[in-house]
Every structure is written in C-alpha cells, then in structure tokens.
A and B are shown apart, each in its own frame.
Chain A
Amino acid sequence: MSKPQPTADQSEPPTDATEGDETEDSTRTKETTGANSVVAALEKADVEITFGVQGGAIMPVYDALSKSDIHHVSMAHEQGASHAADAYGIVSGDPGVTITTSGPGATNLVTGIADANLDSDPIVSLTGQVPQDMVGNDAFQETNTMGITAPITKANIFASDSDTVGKDVGTALALAAEGRQGPTLVDLPKNVTQGATDVEPSEPTSPESYQVPNPKADEEIVDAAARALAEADRPLILSGGGVIKGEASEELREFAVEFGIPVVTTMPGLGSFPEDHPLALEMGGMHGTGYANLALSNCDVLLGVGTRFDDRLTGGIETFAPDAEVIHVDIDPAEISKNIHADYPLIGEAEAVVSQLHRAMPQLPDADAWRERTQEWKAEYPMGYETPQDEPVKPQFVVEAMDEAAADDAIITTGVGQHQMWAAQYWTYTEPRTWVSSNGLGTMGYGAPAAVGSKLAAPDTQVIAFEGDGSFLMTSQAIAPAVREELDFTVAVLNNSYVGMIRQWQDAFYEERRYESEWDWGPDIASLAEAYGAQGLRAMAYDEVPDVIEEAFNYDGPSVIDFRIDPVADVYPMVPSGGNNAEFALEADHL
C-alpha cells in the first residue's frame, strides 16, 4: 500500500509507486501498480476500446492506460460515456467499458448504468474513489458509489487491495458478459490503484458463487411445451431481446418458419426476426402494430423467448394473452412467472432451448386458419400515414426515406420519445444488433452517444441515430467526441418543437393543456451541429428530404439533419398504459 494521500485534490501529481515511494512495507521490490493491473486485466479480456472522462481519483488508471494499446474515447460527459459503452455492448456483444472518476464522475454514470440494467446490456464501469483512509469522511469528490449503484448493477465490487484489483476488474468483465448480461462496476480507491503490487491479473472469471444456468432446459418440460405448441390452434412466438443477446435469432427463425408460427417481437427484440418475412407481425405492445397486438390477444399458446413481459408490452396483465398457455424461455429463473405465469417454464440459453423445442416438436401445428387470420389483420389494420404535400413533412416519411436510402444492415440508435416509436414502427429491421435503443429505462438523449459507441463497435457498418429535438438537446455534446474521433454517422433529428410524446399525452389525457411541452424557441439544430464541427443540414419540405439524406450519407464524418416535421403528428396505434392490447387506438377518438 502506498502512503495515505493528503487530499483527493485533482491537482495532486500522480505518484509512481515503483520509484521513490517510501512506504513502510518496502514496495520498491514490487514491479507494478494496481492501476497497471487494472489495465492488464482489460487487456487480458481483449478490451479494445474504453469510454470515459478524466478526473482526479482515476488519474493513476489513465496514466497506466496511456502506456497501453487500448483506445480510449474521451466523451464530453460521463452519461454519454455510459451510453456509448452500452451501445458498444449491444452491437458487439462484449462488455462496453467506461473509466471515470469519483463523485460526479460516478454519479453522472448512474442513468447509463440503470439503463443497461433494465435492458440487460453488458457494461463495466470503472470508477475512481478517494483513498481508502478518506472513505466515509466526506472528502472532496467522494460519494458512496457502492451504495448508489448497488440496486442498479448486476454486481459491484469495492477494490480494497492493489494485489487483487486486477482480479476484481476481471470478475466484473466476466460477470457483465455471462448468463443474463448486465452492468457491473468496480470502485477503485486511489491508494489501491497507486499502490504497488507484483500480482499479474488472471483470466477474467466469475466468482464461484455465481451460477449460470445449464444451457439446456428440463427435457420433460421441453417435451410437454413442444406438445402444447404442436397441438395449438393459434400458436404465436414472442421474440425478446434475449434472443438477440443469446445469439438465437437464426435458430428461432428456422423454428418459426419450419412450423409456420407467426412471430411478434418486443421492442428490444427488434431485429431478432426479419420484419420482411410473411410470418413477421413486427412489434407488439403500447405502440406495436395492430396485427401484433391482436395476435397476442387471441393466441392460444404463446412461446415467449428472452422476454421479461414488460408492462409496455403486456398492457394490463388481466387482458394479456388471456386464453394462452405460456411457454417461457429465459436464462434468468427470477423472470419466470414474475409478471406472467409460465405454464411451461424453460430455464436455459435461448439458442439451446429453441433447438431443444425444435427437436421435440412431434408435428406441425394445424394453424393454417390462424396464419390466414394474422395476414387478414395486416390488411385490416395497416401501418400507414398520409403525406399531403401542402402540410409539414410527416416523421414516418423521413424514417422510411432513410430506410430506403440506407444500407440493409444499418444500425439504428434512438433517443426516447415519439421519434423512437416511429423509428421502431417504420424502419424494417431484418438483422439482430441493429436496434440500439433505451427500451426499458426510456432515457432521452440515448441516441447520439449510442451512435458513437455503435460506430466504434462496427466501423464498417452504417450508423444512423434518430433523435427528437428535446431528446437530442440532452446529450448533443456527444457530437464533439464523434468529430474528434472522425466517426461517420448520421443523426436525424425529427424536430417538432415539442416534447412530442408528452404533448401527445397532454392532448389525449390532459384536455390539451400543453404545459411545458411546447417550445417557442430552441437552438438551431444545424448550426449547433456545425458548432461541434459536424455537418449540419436542414429539411423543411418533402422535396428536400431525399437530398439532405444523400448529402448526409455522402459526407465522411458526423452529419446532423434537422428535419422540421409536422409538429402535431401523433404515434399510433396506441394501447393506453395498463390497457387491453386488443383495444389499441388508431386515433385520439379511440382512446
């Protein structure tokens, strides 16, 4: 251990424990520091990119990082760092890593950690902390990071020793990635990272107490579930985010196609089943398609894979798939029967269990009439909008125009609000890991920093961020690091000069009192983008839309397009909160 540091002041010079550090236990003989161990643990886990912001208590780690080949992306704000890491985790499947300091460096991460927790995204937060002898003394930039993050992490670890800090980081990396993925955190007191050690970090491993379920589910329940599905008149698959995280999309597609079972996806499940396939009923839930919600309501056997039956999907529990026997495949036993009772609980990995079900199916379900019915619903309840040329541009048109112009495998990130729903509804998702959004927490401002993380995870893939004007302003500073890192992506701001989803709810449920959702004036989005060093563009009318899209896609660097859309366009269909999925509204009068 190095000697206690007098203060946690940011101006304090870094101590190099390998020389000139006069500690009583004679650390001169030790060859490295805790900080070097932290970086070595990252290298051992093949971490290539980290996101973060410098700060006093984390300086030893940054100093060690300067000697490493790991690429560090300095974000403008820690929240942006956590969203960038989160997106990196979604796109790559490997944990995204942030490095930030103590106090505000840690608290600014909290939104991003909570976001990752609700979406089961793998991220590892390495936070600086004041030296151990000052912990609890309300030192400068001290906060109880362990206490604050305990309820929103899969695991958090207080690193208490220079000899074990590398192992702690390895544990956090392993835990974030294994089983049901999620956020982990290691709190790094400055004396621990500065302290000398000669312990080399080992391979990242989860602690022995952590049990990952057996990949395969109980064979007897699999057989019973397969029989129920094969004998169903109205079978339906609900494909969730766990299908993507569990790399089960291909297995699930083969299963659905071979047995002719229609597929609804949850929002995090977008891309888990190709939406251009006839069996696809697309997204279900609050703003899902009418045909998806009618199928959910009328099915008699529902196979849910990797979904936690979130309230935005189920609507009111009492009317959710009320006639259906539920087969629930999940890697987390605590999700079984948490919200919706599972008649056939199948605990295991999505890919392995779907493959088990595939083998166990005794016959094809006799579901011709049901499939036909779902196709009729598609015709009866089409997703559509009109585009009168003398009115402002419809946001749905912008989404479809961009989809038309973009690469088939483009990655979409979003903020939160109406634009997110239009991006979910009107873009055709065909590949897993192309929908990068804040599904569970609903974090406005997720889109721009997520574009940074997505592009770094997939440098050769086109990345498009949909944002709203309200949402974009929350984290627009993430464009600055994008310019610095020379990242090529397009941000499409669907600008209606409202906090649009709130305005829509005020119109529907609060007698049109548009209090604090209407903005008389906002910054000029294109000029703001230019100020950050990006290309700023603007489209005011339909005929300008294709041109600005082309200009943005052709530009080598970040572009931000300000699409001035119909200010009062609403998102439909809509199931009111806690409502019956079958009673989705197609217009305000239906609510």
Chain B
Amino acid sequence: MTGEKMAGAHPDEREKPTGRRNAQGIRIDPDTEAELEKRRAVISALVDHQPGVLAKVSGLFARRQINIESLTVGPTVDESLARMTIVVEEDEPGIEQAKRQLRKEIHAWSVQEVEDAVERELALIKVSGSDPAGVAAVAETYGGKTIQAEDGVLTVQLTETEEAVDAAIEAFEQFGVKEVARTGTAALRGGTQSTT
C-alpha cells in the first residue's frame, strides 16, 4: 500500500520452526538421518514399436539425470509394441520418478518394475586363442561356447545374468580378453506372472 513503509522484524528475530526436510523433501530428524541407498531396479516398458521412441525414452532419462545401466529394446508378441528393459541404479525416490516420468511418455503403454525377474544378457567375448581347450572349459562353466576360432582369436558366446557375465569376463582375463560386446539385461517376471 502506498505511503505505508515495508516493515517487520529482522530475519534473525522471527519465530522459526526447527524441523527439517532432507533433499528428497521428506521430513526428518537431522540427528538420525541416514543417506538414502541406491539399488538396482529393472524396469520393463511396453512402447509403440516405431522410430523415435527410443530417443525419447533415453532423452527423458538423461534430462532427469537418471543413470541408465543398460537398455535393451526388441519386438514382442504384439507386432505394434516393443519391450524396453531398462536397468537403473537409483535411490527409492529416483526409481519412483523414473517409472512415473516414463509412464507419461505418450508412446508408453505400460511401465513396471520387474520383480522376481528372470534376467539374462548376451555377451560376445573375444579371447586370445593360445589355449582353445582352456577357453572352452571356462566358457562351459558359464553355459557358453566358442562359436568362432580364427587366426589365434576365439569368440565366445554366453548368455547369463549380468553378474555371471562379469564373472566370466574376469575368468577369461587369464587368456587375454581382446574385445567384449554385451547386450544389456533382458528381463521378464518369472513363472506364470506376466510382465505388462
């Protein structure tokens, strides 16, 4: 109001509540506040199988600073749809945001975190060929096999969980790992449960 000077107590002299929220906006007791732990989440989305959708989904994760561990995409039983399997490592609120933001994408028909998952990824591993029998033996341990042997290079194919593929690559290090190509995790809920 004109003529009335802006007035009031100095900021330090005002009544102020002592409560606090954490970075996620949750009310906390600062003395007992624990850091939120990150966890690995496998998110499955059924999306329109058309150009541009992958770019939109990866763009939306990038914009929200949600780190994608792996992302696979491929056709499903319904020709018009593709399934995206996205592995993220985030705290609980971050995982929730990822799912909700993804659900807002117009091309996404459904979004679900895959619990009790059957998970596999395919890896092609090129190993030095000095010990074909040794390589074959390690490959067999992980359910893989040598699919090509040429000019001293053995190409091993194996399909396993992410952790097992990590372990296999480590085991192959003794022969010399030259190149690795991994597809990232594909996942479905186990048994009779469907992943929608």
Contacts and interface: CB of A to CB of B under 8 A. Distances in A.
Interface string B12-23: 101111111111
A20 interface: no
B29 to A, nearest CB: 11
Given A322-B21, A340-B21, A151 B60 contact: yes
A71 interface: no
A499 interface: no
B108 A209 contact: yes
B4 A297 contact: no
Interface in B82-113: 93, 96-97, 100-101, 103-104, 106-109
Interface stretch (A121-129, A216-224, A256-264, A578-586): A578-586
Interface stretch (B51-59, B127-135, B171-179, B186-194): B51-59
The winner among B3, B15, B96, B106 for most chain A CB atoms within 10 A is B106
A62 interface: no
B22 A318 contact: yes
A384 B6 CA distance: 5
A587 to B, nearest CB: 8
Interface stretch (A330-338, A448-456, A459-467, A506-514): A330-338
Given A150-B56, A151-B60, A381-B7, 16 more contacts: A158-B52, A209-B48, A318-B20, A319-B21, A322-B27, A340-B25, A381-B6, A384-B7, A386-B5, A400-B1, A573-B6, A583-B12, A583-B14, A585-B11, A586-B8, A587-B6
Given A333-B103, A337-B25, A146 B52 contact: yes
B82 to A, nearest CB: 13
A317 interface: yes
Interface residues of A, number: 55
A155 B5 contact: no
Interface in A451-483: none
25 contacts: A150-B59, A155-B106, A209-B108, A210-B106, A298-B17, A318-B23, A320-B21, A322-B21, A323-B17, A333-B100, A334-B103, A341-B25, A381-B7, A382-B4, A382-B5, A382-B8, A383-B6, A384-B4, A385-B5, A580-B16, A582-B17, A583-B12, A583-B14, A583-B16, A586-B6
A572 interface: yes
The 5 A-B residue pairs with the shortest CB-CB distance, nearest first, are A322-B19, A384-B4, A334-B100, A381-B8, A340-B25
A323 B48 CA distance: 44
A334 B66 CA distance: 14
B24 interface: yes
A497 B1 CA distance: 25
A150 B52 CA distance: 10
Contacts of B10: 590
A147 B55 contact: yes
A505 interface: no
A387 B3 CA distance: 6
B14 A294 contact: yes
A4 interface: no
Contact of B55 (A150, A155, A383): A150
B169 to A, nearest CB: 35
Nearest to B4: A384
B108 to A, nearest CB: 7
A93 interface: no
B2 interface: yes
A322 B48 contact: no
A380 B6 contact: no
Contacts of A586: 6-8
Contacts of B100: 333-334, 336
A175 interface: yes
Given A154-B106, A319-B20, A585-B11, A341 B26 contact: yes
Nearest to B24: A341
A207 interface: yes
Contacts of B48: 209
Interface in A321-373: 322-324, 332-334, 336-341
Nearest to B6: A384
Given A337-B96, A340-B25, A380 B1 contact: no
A334 B7 contact: no
Interface string A136-162: 000000000011001100110010000
B85 to A, nearest CB: 18
Contacts of B7: 380-382, 384, 586
Interface of B: 1-12, 14-27, 48, 52, 55-56, 59-60, 63, 93, 96-97, 100-101, 103-104, 106-109
Nearest to A309: B25
Given A333-B103, A382-B7, A209 B17 contact: no
Contact of A209 (B9, B55, B109): B109
A150 B26 CA distance: 31
Contact of A572 (B6, B15, B55, B56): B6
Nearest to A384: B4
Contacts of B106: 154-155, 175, 207, 209-210
A334 B104 contact: yes
A586 B1 CA distance: 15
Contacts of B12: 583
Given A209-B108, A334-B97, A385-B5, A341 B21 contact: yes
Contact of A386 (B3, B55, B101, B107): B3
A290 interface: yes
Contact of B2 (A322, A338, A396, A590): A396
A558 B20 CA distance: 50
Contacts of B60: 151
Contacts of B26: 341
The winner among B16, B48, B101 for most chain A CB atoms within 10 A is B16
A339 B25 contact: yes
A341 B25 CA distance: 5
A386 B2 CA distance: 6
B4 A341 contact: no
A397 interface: yes
A384 B3 contact: yes
B18 A322 contact: yes
Nearest to B18: A322
Nearest to B52: A146
Contacts of B108: 209
Contacts of A580: 16
Contacts of A207: 106
A590 B11 CA distance: 7
B49 to A, nearest CB: 12
Contact of B107 (A209, A400, A583): A209
B32 to A, nearest CB: 15
B23 A317 contact: yes
B24 to A, nearest CB: 6
A337 B93 contact: yes
Contacts of A590: 10-11
A403 to B, nearest CB: 11
